[in-house]
Amino acid sequence: MEEKKIVSVSLFSGAGGLDVASFLAGVPVVSSTDFDSDCIKTLKMNELFENSEVIEGDLHQIESSVFSDILRKRDYDKFIVIGGAPCQPFSKAGYWVGNNTRKGINDPRATLVDEYLRVVCDLHPDGFVFENVESLLHPTNRVIVDRFIEIITEQGYKYKIVRANALDYGVSQKRKRLFILGTLGEFQSDEPRKTHCAPEECERTGLLPYVNVGEVIAGYDGPEYYEPEEETKGGTYYSDLCEVPPGMNYKALTAWYGYENPKFVADKRFWSFLLKLSPDMPSWTITAQPGPWVGPFHWDNRRLRVPEIAAIQTFPKGYKFYGSRRSVQKQIGNAVPALMGKAMIEFVKESLQK
């Protein structure tokens, strides 16, 4: 049976994490869109998008017909919509500041989920991939998921809700995300295909062991990759950072850990304070807006370099980013790890081949 040609329309494309995933899954992206001008410039800087129509604009202001017109010019058998509405209203990190100061579902950005659904309902694609933070399932936000499911079911879609960890798909990063996957076809299996697992489970499962971060960022530690922004020397907590063993955080300097003259009190700081990578373990989540002493830091007691955080997010080597260091960190930190997204898109693609 000849494989059907499937293409994708990308919404909330950002720096292109899910778009790269789509290309990796053999589903060319015909259109990418974002409201952030730096993200748009990032996409246009990369050859991967030379045949994609890259649109800068707020999705609230972009008619669905814009995407219909683009699709009409392309040769394909079926198409899917991919994207994740900006997730800050639902981020687990938001719970740190307490429910009273979080806007949650009352945040105007939550309406971007409606815009995603609007495009899906108008275009009626053969399938879709929707990504967001896992805490979208928290009782505070659950109404959004329930309404999402109600709408896509009315549109005739079968769906899967997948709580995924990037580690299981070859990403060297502990990063949990929620995916809602939809198809007008038939899912061929219960869940997207995992490729990696904990080392002690490999013999039983036949999967590969989790990828350690030392393997992923090897080669970027030379002076040619130096960035002034990586410097921590002379900073408030530099000497403390140097004392934290690889794979630990500030709690290594507390009585809880048996530190002789405790400098901090366990559980009184955010867990990523002075968090340091170990080359022999996967990374923790790469964030979009880390504070000055928020990790993960390199085991050499410096901040991570752009090509390192891009590699941890499984962007292709040599992928270009436009903007200030702060902007680039935000773009990469907000992205869907490409290998994780690839597994999700392949799962939907498989359901459309018959």
Q: How do residues 92-125 score in pLDDT, each as one tens digit?
A: 433 333 444 333 334 444 478 888 999 999 999 9
Kindly report, residue by residue over 133-155, the tens digit of the pLDDT: 888 888 877 888 888 899 999 99
Long-range contacts formed by 290-298: CB under 8 A, 24+ apart: 290/329, 290/333, 292/235, 292/236, 293/235, 293/236, 293/237, 293/241, 294/270, 295/249, 296/272, 297/232, 297/241, 298/221, 298/230
- Enzyme catalytic residues: 87
Q: Bridge-partner residues for 8, per DSSP?
A: 29, 80
Q: List domains and CATH numbers for the chain.
A: 6-205+334-351 (3.40.50.150), 221-304 (no CATH)
Q: What is the pLDDT of residue 1?
A: 61
Which structure tokens are listed for 136? 């979208």
Closest to 192 (Cα-Cα) out of 4, 6, 21: 21
Average pLDDT, the chain: 92
How far is Cα 112 from Cα 115, in angstroms, rounded to an integer?
Answer: 5
Confidence of residue 83 (pLDDT cuts 50, 70, 90): very high
Confidence of residue 352 (pLDDT cuts 50, 70, 90): very high
The answer, yes or no, to whether residue 35 has pLDDT greater than 50, is yes
Kindly report, residue by residue over 155-168, the tens digit of the pLDDT: 999 999 999 999 99
pTM of the model: 0.92
Closest to 147 (Cα-Cα) out of 118, 177, 186: 118
How far is C-alpha 153 from the geometric centre of its chain's CA atoms?
A: 26
| Average pLDDT of the segment spanning 302-308 | 97
How far is Cα 42 from Cα 262, in angstroms, rounded to an integer?
Answer: 45
Helices (H), the chain: 17-24, 37-45, 64-72, 111-123, 142-154, 202-205, 213-216, 238-243, 306-312, 325-334, 338-351
